[in-house]
Amino acid sequence: MTGVVEQRSIDVVPDAERHGNAFSQFTLWLGANLQITAVVTGALAVVFGADAFWSIIGLLLGNLLGGAVMALHSAQGPRLGLPQMISSRAQFGVRGAVVPLALVIVMYVGFFASGSVLAGQAVGELTHLGDTTGIVIFALVTAATTLVGYRLIHTLGRVASIVCALAFVYLGIRLLQRADLTTLLADRSFHLPLFLLAVSLSASWQLAFGPYVADYSRYLPRTTSPRATFWWTLGGSALGSQWSMTFGALAAAAAGSAFVDNQVGYVVGLGGAGLAASFLYFVIALGKLTVNVLNTYGGFMSVVTGISGFRRQRELSTRARAAYIAGIMIAGTTVALLGKDSFLSSFKDFLLFLLTAFTPWSAINLVDYYLIAKERYDLPALSDPHGRYGAWRVKALVVYGTGLLAQLPFLATSFYTGPLVAPLGGTDISWIVGLVVPAALYWLAARRDTAHVPDRMITGAETGTRTGSPSPTPMS
């Protein structure tokens, strides 16, 4: 079992264990985005009032903007050899990083739950055991795949990118046989609030990958070109999500309530009955399995990152790994079972909530990595609360809190609408504020406070020890 299950978790991947090339990011993120939840995300813009033409353009703009931010995080993976959220300790402190981590963990559980609802419907139909049993089966398969780890995850992404791409080509043809594309795109009335809703939905989809995207590039050789990592990640993620979301927007425009009432049933119904339907249920489950494994894998590492900052531990035993994965699975499955009957409306607000929480974190992390530290981190010190990064970095935490608060006047959801939304014609621009304000504030606060920045990248390999960190003690 030791030879099959990945042994690394939140510790640095040594150069001797690096492998692969940047193209692996394209297949992983293409496969992760050619799936039913992305279809629903694209459909939401039409469901909530926009026409298909401007929805598709807005979704494309959001995928490119949010995808670029997400891909900048991905480019950190080969350089650092660390999971994404560990690098947040350089900005927030070894223990202070737990603040954004808490929201990240909520994200993982939420996406696990939302994915399980849709995949559970597919598994339930495929096995004839019903939605509830389908959700449970899907969760167990997700947990088992996550336990094996990095190599299996990338293999799954390659398989999903091919199988799901073929399925979406077929579904697109079937949709256009039922509905005339010219008619679907005929209404081109532009409404800025609805257009920006489409941008926000797709941008939030992409930005939500930011807290874990480097988890899946960290095994690439340190010499891998950052530009190659950036472009292959952006290409796979933006292409996959835009493909799925465009299909969703057109399906919602063509089907109306038939799509809203049963998204999985409608999509499968396009393909026909019998073997074709069984294949499409399998494709839906495969696409959701790919991204739910990413959520579970990132979730357990985020929990470990938060806990290890207080316990001064950096390595994880296989038994503890399994326990953390089981915890994420149980929490996500519970939420899925409780919320499966009101999924569509809840998911829209969940996406916008995530956008509010993670844009300030992305802004701070990227400004620090590319403009302040300029890719120079002391990796062993990221595990030492008494080292150069300290336990709590108050400036970053204040900027993060300010970034959260700055968005509230511009935020529009069903449970809260900010006072500046109405003067802007109902337009939600909170995600733009959440990127610009904390990026500017953090740069102003940190540009002269660089005493903690080393003059070069310190990996700990120079002396064969983990300088600045306690002796590695497995978490069990």
Q: Distance between the two ends of the chain, CA-based, in angstroms?
A: 17
Whole-angstrom Cα distance, residue 174 to residue 176? 5
DSSP state, 454?
A: -
| CA 111, 115, 117, 120 torsion-angle sign | negative
Report the range out of 125-139, 143-157, 182-196, 267-281 with the highest average pLDDT. Answer: 143-157
Is residue 142 very low, low, confident or very high in pLDDT (cuts 50, 70, 90)?
Answer: very high
Whole-angstrom Cα distance, residue 102 to residue 106? 7
Strand partners, 417: 412
SS3 assignment, position 288: helix
Whole-angstrom Cα distance, residue 134 to residue 174? 27
Over residues 108-119, the pLDDT tens digits come to 888 888 778 878
261 vs 224 pLDDT, higher one: 224
Instruction: Show the 3-state SS of 128-196.
Output: CCCHHHHHHHHHHHHHHHHHHCHHHHHHHHHHHHHHHHHHHHHHHHHHHHHCCHHHHCCCCCCCHHHHH
Distances from the Cα of 355 to the Cα of 18, 115, 413, angstroms: 32, 18, 12
List the chain domain ranges.
Answer: 15-353
Work out whether strand 315-316 and strand 474-475 pair parallel, antiparallel, or are unpaired.
parallel
442-468 burial code (b ≥16 CB/10 A, e <16): bbebbeeeeebbeeeebbbbeeeebbb
Q: What percent of the chain has pLDDT over 90?
A: 48
Residue with tokens 């193209």: 23
Q: What percent of the chain has pLDDT over 70?
A: 92
* pLDDT value of residue 40: 86
Q: What are phi and psi of 251, to 5 degrees?
A: -65, -45
| CA 396, 397, 398, 404 torsion-angle sign | positive
Question: What is the arithmetic mean of pLDDT over 152-164?
Answer: 94
Whole-angstrom Cα distance, residue 470 to residue 459? 15
Residues recorded for the chain: 476
Predicted confidence (pLDDT) at residue 343 exceeds the cutoff of 70: no
For the chain, the average pLDDT equals 87
* pLDDT value of residue 471: 39
SS3 assignment, position 374: coil
Q: List the alpha helices (DSSP H) in 19-130.
A: 23-33, 36-47, 52-74, 76-80, 89-92, 98-127
Predicted confidence (pLDDT) at residue 459 exceeds the cutoff of 80: yes
- Check if the beta carbon of residue 381 is closer than 8 Å to that of residue 468: yes
Question: What is the arithmetic mean of pLDDT over 402-409?
Answer: 94
Is residue 465 very low, low, confident or very high in pLDDT (cuts 50, 70, 90)?
Answer: very low
Q: So what's the architecture of 15-353 in CATH? A: Orthogonal Bundle (1.10)
Residue with tokens 């849709």: 118
* pLDDT value of residue 275: 87
- Check if the beta carbon of residue 113 is closer than 8 Å to that of residue 332: yes
Over residues 23-82, the pLDDT tens digits come to 999 999 999 999 988 998 899 889 888 899 999 999 999 999 999 999 999 999 999 999
Whole-angstrom Cα distance, residue 138 to residue 118? 10
DSSP state, 424?
A: G
